[in-house]
Amino acid sequence: MMNRDEESMMDERFSIDADSSVLQEVRQRLEEFASSAGFDPESSGRIVMAVDEALTNIIRHAYKGKNGGKIDVELSAGPECLCILLRDYGVRVDTDNIQGRPLDEVKPGGLGVHIMNECMDSIEYLPAVGGGTRTVLRKALPDCKREEGEK
Amino acid sequence: MKDEPVRNVRWEGDTAVIEVEGDIDLHRSPRFQKGILSVLNDKPGKVVLDLSGVPYMDSSGVASMVKLLSRTRERGIGLKLANTSTKVKSILEITSLDTVFELTDSLDDALK
């Protein structure tokens, strides 16, 4: 399950099992974090949606749905943006193949990447030292929160 | 989180009202899909998915509903989604499926 090894108000790190049964707990924690960083409920919900899809992709593709894998999660906020880093130790992704599909065709599947792109400002897939991938999702902080930080 | 996403299936005439409960994500969508598709075996004239008990749905849950939509269209069966939460509406809007599915704000409207 979830192991918390470091936490401060605007910086949290924890590790989770690469298992879909932990997703609900992670969503709840992310929503609280985004909300405390200044995002309104709608924006927080969209951030949660994007990270949930990223975690789903890691479980499905990097770990191929097998149990026993680990994902390190790092949440940080400020001064300009909310940043979520997901570090997996699974099969490295081929970034050329990560693309959302056109939505004009109504069919199941292939929606996750589109959701991530719609909900976040940027997403990076970086090879991690020792294997695996670092998925980095960023979203600019709401204006009011940024202005507070400038004071 | 409840174990079975499909809490109950009840009938209003030839309409199957499928009551769904809990978050529908990667963990629960396989059972959600199995539950909603199995209702088609009873040959309903219409299907209503009552989503009032679903606070959250991810793309795997949406994919299951698209599969249901495809099967119902093949068989000439009407499908409506009733009582979608803000978050479920949001994912349908982001994926441009809010205009593909017929959404209603109440079960009464869905049964009309």
Domain definitions of chain A by residue range: 3-150
Band (pLDDT 50/70/90 cuts) for residue A68 is confident
pLDDT score, position A78: 86
CB-based contact A56 B96, cutoff 8 Å: no
Higher per-residue confidence, B94 vs A78: B94
Cβ of B99 under 8 Å from any chain A Cβ?
Answer: no
Q: For tokens 């099969």, name the residue.
A: A91
What ipTM was predicted for this assembly? Answer: 0.92
Which residues, in sequence order, are bridge partners of residue A123? A137
Architecture of domain A3-150 in this structure: 2-Layer Sandwich (3.30)
How far apart are alpha carbons A150 and A139 in whole angstroms? 18
Among candidates A42, A84, A32, A24, which has minimal Cα distance to B90? A42
pTM: 0.90
Q: Which domains does chain B have, with CATH numbers?
A: 6-111 (3.30.750.24)
Residue B63 is nearest to which of A21, A60, A108, comparing CB atoms? A108
**Residue A7 scores a pLDDT above 50:** no
CB-based contact B97 A106, cutoff 8 Å: yes
pLDDT score, position A149: 57
pLDDT score, position A8: 43
Q: What is the mean pLDDT of chain A?
A: 87
Residues 39-58 of chain B with CB under 8 A from chain A are 56, 58
